Structure 1
Amino acid sequence: MKTSINLYSINILVLLFLILSSVPFQQTDSNKNLKYKPGEYTLEDLKVHDTKTNKIISIGMSKTEVTNLLGQEKEINFRKIYYYDGLKVYYRDDKVAGLMVLAGDNIDNRYQTYRGVGLTSTMQDVMDRYGETKVEELFGSYSATYQGKLDGTILKTNSNNDPLWLLTNQERIYVISFGFFNNSNKSVSGIYISDHTFAYSGK
């Protein structure tokens, strides 16, 4: 089925980014004071919090806004992904279309999601805060993906398991994925927040 192929594609993209990750952190995340409900998502879930500067970077933000918050990028790779001291950003038409936090780029838990998940978190932390979902295993690594279709400020999930859900109104679909190390805690190795196009095609 085409939906299954799409899900396989996104896991391939996530795991390709995992290659850039290195040694997992040994701490555990203790920030559980944010307001959210597992299984329910909003525009707040499309943001990354820089705990060092208390700045927020979000999907849809302009390149100018990001530069004003984080300064000039340190480098731009061959895929036109911008690197800002631990945070990778992909732009389309000068707007943020993808946000990536990888263990290989960070030495601390500086960048976290709205729900307090960072590189010191575990698979169980993710499940507790985002809800239970299928965990994919590929090439010895793990990934979990959450998707929502924008309706106002709410990201509605495919609660009815509609096989055509991913094929309609794709411009309103957003994806939140986590990669995990293959260790005892299944600690987070990468955080990926993006629109549908970048999640499934890398463009």
Structure 2
Amino acid sequence: MKTTIGMLLLLTLAVISAGCSKSESSFEPNTFSNQDMCIVKKNDKQAAICYGMTRAKAEEIAGIEMDSQVAVFSNYSSGLKIFYRDNAVAGVALVEGSEGAYETARGAELGMSRSEIMKLYGEEYAITETERNLDYAYDTTANKFSNKTEAGGKSQGESQSIYLFSSFYSGEEQKAETLFLIDRKMAVFMN
């Protein structure tokens, strides 16, 4: 009897542990979570800069702001640009210099091919109107992916609830040269 109860307890703990072992950072293609709006340091995955984070918290990870010529975003070392609205992160861009330093929480980084990024984010909701860019739009109000027409039909105020992942490609090999995690209001209206 004690052995049976002990075995059942052990089995129950194993099942609970297995259910909890899937971390928030595990992603499936064609899905979206709040973690999709984060970038992480490649050498410290706990060092994440996420959409909505305060500027002070973001700068604890990004370091000291470098010269910025544009009021809506700030440049940081290692090819990182952060867009702020009301002292909170409204978007992040990985540009030249971020290679080896930052990646999206999903694992996308500069230099990846379009097909590698599509494996991470999925094909079902990809917006692929040109060879030079690949986009995904997620409507946080409707809790679903949007196509270009749906996302583009939102007012300036409504656009803040549309989260975008955009990647831009160059060269014959079509390698990612810029990655954006940003809300549509900031991307289109710079506000």
TM-score (norm 2): 0.74
Given that 1:42 and 1:155 are in contact with CA atoms closer than 8 Å, whether structure 2 keeps it comes out as no
5 Å-filtered alignment, 1:147-186, equals 147-150=137-140, 155-158=143-146, 163=150, 166-167=153-154, 169-184=158-173, 186=174
Q: 1:201–1:51: structure 2 CA closer, same or farther, 3 Å change rule?
A: same
Q: CA deviation at 1:80?
A: 3.5
Gaps of 5+ in 1: 1-33
Equivalent residue letter for 1:128: K
Q: 1:201–1:38: structure 2 CA closer, same or farther, 3 Å change rule?
A: same
Q: 1:65–1:163: structure 2 CA closer, same or farther, 3 Å change rule?
A: closer
| Aligned mates of 1:164, 1:120 — CA distance in 2 | 27
Given that 1:82 and 1:89 are in contact with CA atoms closer than 8 Å, whether structure 2 keeps it comes out as yes
**Which deviates the most, 89-98 or 50-59?**
50-59
| Aligned mates of 2:67, 2:26 — CA distance in 1 | 35
Counterpart in the other structure of 2:89: 96
| Aligned mates of 1:166, 1:41 — CA distance in 2 | 21
Q: CA deviation at 1:166?
A: 4.1
Counterpart in the other structure of 2:176: 188
Given that 2:72 and 2:190 are in contact with CA atoms closer than 8 Å, whether structure 1 keeps it comes out as no
SS at match of 1:118: coil
| Aligned mates of 1:170, 1:78 — CA distance in 2 | 21
Residue identity over aligned pairs, in percent, reads 21
Q: CA deviation at 1:66?
A: 1.2
SS at match of 1:177: strand
Question: Looking at CA atoms only, which structure, 1 or 2, has the larger radius of gyration?
Answer: 2
Q: 1:67–1:136: structure 2 CA closer, same or farther, 3 Å change rule?
A: same
1:38 equivalent to 2:29? Answer yes
Counterpart in the other structure of 2:62: 70
Gaps of 5+ in 2: 1-24
Equivalent residue letter for 1:191: L
Q: CA deviation at 1:134?
A: 3.4
SS at match of 1:157: strand
Cα root mean square deviation, aligned = 2.4
Bigger relative CO (Cα 8 Å, ≥ 6 apart): 1
5 Å-filtered alignment, 1:1-203, equals 35-54=26-45, 55-85=47-77, 86-103=79-96, 105-106=97-98, 108-132=99-123, 133-137=126-130, 142-150=132-140, 155-158=143-146, 163=150, 166-167=153-154, 169-184=158-173, 186-203=174-191
Alpha-carbon displacement from aligned partner over 1:34-55 (angstroms, at most 9, x marks no partner): 6222111110100001113441
Given that 1:49 and 1:111 are in contact with CA atoms closer than 8 Å, whether structure 2 keeps it comes out as yes
SS at match of 1:69: helix
Equivalent residue letter for 1:84: Y
Equivalent residue letter for 2:65: E
Aligned length: 161
TM-score (norm 1): 0.70
